[in-house]
Amino acid sequence: MAEELVLERCDLELEANGRDHHTADLCEKRLVVRRGQPFRLTLHFEGRNYEAGVDSLTFSVVTGPAPSEEAGTKARFPLSDAVEEGAWTASVVDQQNSALSLQLSTPAHAPIGLYRLSLEASTGYQGSSFMLGHFILLFNSWCPADAVYLDSDAERQEYVLTQHGFIYQGSAKFINSVPWNFGQFEDGILDVCLMLLDVNPKFLKNSGRDCSRRSSPIYVGRVVSAMVNCNDDQGVLYGRWDNNYQDGISPMFWIGSVDILRRWKSYGCQNVKYGQCWVFAAVACTVLRCLGIPTRVVTNYNSAHDQNSNLVIEYFYDEYGAFQRKKSEMIWNFHCWVESWMTRPDLQPGYEGWQAIDPTPQEKSEGTYCCGPVPVRAIKEGDLSTKYDAPFVFAEVNADVVNWIQQEGGSVQKTINNSMVVGLKISTKRVGRDEREDITHTYKYPEGSPEEREAFRRANHMNKLADKEDTGIAMRIRVGQSMTMGSDFDVFAHITNNTAENHACRLLLCARTVSYNGILGPECGTKDLSDLSLEPYSEKSIPLQILYEKYCDCLTESNLIKVRGLLVEPAANSYLMAERDIYLENPEIKIRVLGEPKQHRKLVAEVSLRNPLNMALGGCTFTVEGAGLTEEQKTVEIPDPVEAGAEAKVRVDLLPLHVGRHKLVVNFESDKLKAVKGFRNVIIGPP
C-alpha cells in the first residue's frame, strides 16, 4: 500500500503568472490572475511525489461568504488531462523529483473576486486536505471568450493597464486637459476595489446572489456607478457644488484617484469630501480598470441635465437679460462620465462595445443614484428604451435649449439663441498619445443629416425636428487674444444685419463668473447701449472690458466667465441672445527631472511656476504624485509669499519603483491662484 501523499508547500508562481496575466504590479505578495486563461502552480510533496493511478487529486475553489455550485461561486474539479472549455480544470505540466507543476484553467464567465483554493489528496482509503492559498480573479480583455474582450493590444494597454491620463475641462471653445493619476495598480488599491464591492447594498442584502452576479461586467459597472457616490450607501465621494469646501478638500484640488480611495478605506468606508463630475468619473475609471474592465473618461461640453425627460431645457430671463433661476434643469459647461467596453447579451445585437456609465449622482435609476451602462450606439440611434438610463444620457448630448424673456406685463417671449448647442466636442484621451480624441460622432450623427433626423424621430425629439427661424440678424460673442489668469481683456459682441432695413436696437452685455455646472456668480463686466442702430447689410463689433480687479474675488476654481449678449428690437418685440464661456488659462508649471531616471534610484523633481498676477501669492503649496514614481502623495509648502512676477520653486524627492513610462502630476495652490495643474512624462530605465 503506497504511503500517504503529504504536501510540503504550494508555490503559486507569482512572477510567471503575473507576467502572463498582465498583473505583475499586483502579484508582488499574492496571486492575481485573469479569468479564461490558465495559470501555473507547483506542489512540493514530502517524501514521494504524486503517482497517476495511485493518487487522486481534487481541487476546490470558493468565493464569497455563501459559495454554491449553482451560483458559480464554488467548484470541485479533479486533476485530469481533458481540457474542458468554459470549466474549471487542472492538468499536469511537468513532474520532477517531489515537485508537481500544474496548470489551472478558469472559465471566462467566472465571477471575479477573492477565491480560496484547496486540495484533497487521497491514496486508497486514506486522504488529507490542504489549503493551497488565495487568489484574486479579474476580468480578462485578452481572452476572446470574456465579455470584456478587446482585440486591439494598444487599446488594452491604454484602457486596462495605463495608470495615468487626461481629463478634459474648460469650455468647448477652449478645451483644457487636466492630467490625472488613475493608479489602479498602486499598493492597496485592488483591496479597496474589492472592499467597495463588499459594502455595496446588493451584497449586504444577498451576498450569495451579489457574488454570483459579479461574473457580469454589466452588473459590476452598475454597482461601481452607485458606489463611487455616497448618496444611497457607504460610497466613496460626497458631491458638492456650492464652492464651500472648508471642511473637506476642494474637488479641483485632486490630481489622482489613489489618495481618494486610500482615504475612503482609512476612514472606515466613510465618504471623502468632496467630488464633482470628473472626480466621480476618474475614481470609477480607476476601479473598473483595476477589476479588468476596459474604461475611459469622457467629457461632454454643454451637457444638459434634463429632469423631466422632455428633452428641453428652458431658461427664463427678465427684459434686461438677467437670469431667473426657476428650476434646477441646467446646462453644465462640461460634464464627465466613463465608458466601459463589454458585450450586451441582454440587448439586441449591435449594442456591444462602449457603454456609458455615469457615477455622478444626478437622478435615481431603479431607486439608486447610478446611471448606465447604456450602449453609446443606442444613444446615437435615439433608441431610448435601451437599458440602462438611455433617456437621461440622450438628453445630456441632445437636449434643446429654449430661452424665454419674461416681460414686465407678465407675457413671455421666445428668444433666438443659436450659440448654445448641447453636446459638443465629446472628448477622451487618444490611445497611446497625450492628445485628445473627439468621439462626438459615436454619440451623434452629423448635424442636419437624414440619420440624425431619424434618430430624433425615434427618440420623439420634436423640438429638434422643427425648423429654426432666421430673422436676418445674427450675433455672436468673439474674443481677441488668449485670456490668461490675472489679465484684463476685451470681448466683443459681433452683430451682422443681413437685411435691407435699418434696425433700432438695445444691446445689453453682461459678464459673470460661472461654475462648471452652469451656476452663475457675480457680475464682472456690463454694458448697456440703449440706442444701437444697425444699418442695412452692416457688421458691428462692440467691446466689453473685463478687469481682473472685478473677477479676481468671485472666479471659481474652474476659471470660467460667461459672457451673454441680449439684443432687443422693441419695435418688432424680438429678442436675440448670444453667449460664450471663457476659460482663463493658468500659468504653466515647469518640471525638471534632475539625476538619471533608473529603477530604485533616488530622483529629484524641480517644480516651478511664475506668479502671473500683479500682487503677491500667499500660502503656496505644490502637491505631486505619480504611479510608479512616488509611493504616496507629497506636498511641499513655500513659507514666504511669492511676489508679483517672481517664481515659486520647490524640489521633491522621488523613488521610482517600476521600469517604464510614468507621469508625474502636480497641483499648485495659493490664496489667489488655485488648482493649477502640470505634468511631466518620465521614462524610468532598469537599474
13, 39 contact by CB (below 8 A): yes
> Taken in order 133, 138, 142, 144, is the CA torsion positive or negative?
positive
Cβ-contact 10, 132 below 8 angstroms: yes
Q: Are strands 272-275 and 237-239 parallel, antiparallel or unpaired?
A: parallel
How far CA 132 is from CA of 41, 121, 273, in Å, comes to 10, 12, 41
User: Which of 164, 335, 461, 662 is flagged as catalytic?
Assistant: 335
Taking the C-alpha atoms of 18, 23, 28 and 29 in order, what is their torsion angle to the nearest 10 degrees? -90
Does 277 participate in catalysis according to the annotation? yes
With CA atoms as reference, report the closest residue to 164 among 627, 660, 630. Answer: 627
Residue 373: is the preceding peptide bond cis (ω within 30°)?
yes
Distance CA(362)–CA(335), nearest Å, equals 11
Catalytic residue flag (residue 358): yes
Q: Residue 25 has what DSSP assignment?
A: G
- What's the sign of the alpha-carbon dihedral 207, 211, 213, 218? positive
Residue 395's SS3 state is helix
Distance CA 127, CA 324 (A): 79
Give me the catalytic one of 10, 27, 211, 277.
277
Side chain identity, residue 593: V
Choose the catalytic residue: 233, 306, 358, 581. 358
Q: How far is CA 348 from CA 26, 203, 383, in A?
A: 36, 29, 11
Q: Is 153 exposed, middle or buried (0-12, 13-18, 19+ CB in 10 A)?
A: exposed
**Of 384, 385, 444, the residue nearest 453 (C-alpha):** 444
User: Catalytic site residues?
Assistant: 277, 335, 358
